[in-house]
Structure 1
Amino acid sequence: MRKYEVMVLVDPSVDEHQVESLMDRYLKVVKDEKGTVDNVDVWGKRRLAYEIQKKSEALYVVLDVTCEPSTVQEVDRLFAIDEKIMRTKVMRPDAH
């Protein structure tokens, strides 16, 4: 099992109160695969450096998870399918 940090940019039209329930759906995949969710940090609405999908703002969410590489790949794949998710970035904080 490895630690991952996943940055998720959520469409700004999504209500901030719905973000956690939206993330729970994907974090369930991590938990079902015997991984752990260490932290969910909702930063809220922030201005983007450049437009993504003709939008200049997004809701930022940072997820800290510990799981197998195949699990984080599956979560990233599911994020890519969801129209509410504008962009994701998966990082390994311990990799140098």
Structure 2
Amino acid sequence: MNNYELMVIFTPVLSDDEFKAAQKKYTALVTENGGSVVAENPWGLKSLAYPIQKKTTGLYWVLEYSAPAEFNEKLKIQMLRDESVLRQLCTKLDKYAVEYNAKKRSGVKTGTEKAVEA
């Protein structure tokens, strides 16, 4: 089981219910294929750096999960078929990134955050 972080930009025309249903769909896909969801974070509506399909905003969602390596291809195919997904990026996390994300979620300040405060 490897650890991954998935960032998805959904089209901004989705309602809140549709946005939540899409999130639930992909978290269910992870668990159905032998993975487990570590954390999810809906960022909401944000401006895009450049227009995608003539849209200047998008609904951002970040999912951290652990799953077998072969699952990512299934996930990618599902995302490409989904018309509500503008962009997606799946990143494999190393042990340091997993540790950093866990500290960030628990509220423990990291070395870089302590340096910024000083």
* Normalised TM-score (structure 2): 0.75
Question: Which structure is higher in RCO with an 8 Å CA cutoff and minimum separation 6?
Answer: 1
* Residue 16 (structure 1) shift: 2.8
Asked if residue 25 in structure 1 is aligned to residue 11 in structure 2, the reply is no
Displaced runs of 4+ in structure 1, greater than 3 A? none
Partner of 2:43: 43
User: Which structure 2 residues correspond to residues 5-16 of structure 1 after superposition, within 5 A?
Assistant: 5-16=5-16
Which runs of 5 or more residues in structure 1 are unaligned? none
Matches within 5 A, 1:56-95: 56-94=56-94
Q: Which amino acid aligns with 1:67?
A: A
Q: Distance in 2 between matches of 1:63 and 1:91?
A: 10
Superposed CA RMSD: 1.5
User: Which is greater in Rg?
Assistant: 2
Q: 2-side partners of 1:53 and 1:95: how far apart?
A: 36
Partners of 1:95 and 1:29 in 2: CA distance: 24
Q: Distance in 1 between matches of 2:16 and 2:39?
A: 17
Output the amino acid matched with 1:37.
Answer: V
What is the alpha-carbon distance in structure 1 between the residues aligned to residue 77 and residue 46 of structure 2?
A: 24
Q: CA deviation at 1:25?
A: 1.3
**What SS does the corresponding residue of 1:29 show, helix, strand or coil?**
helix
More helix by proportion, 1 or 2?
Answer: 2
Aligned length, in residue pairs: 96
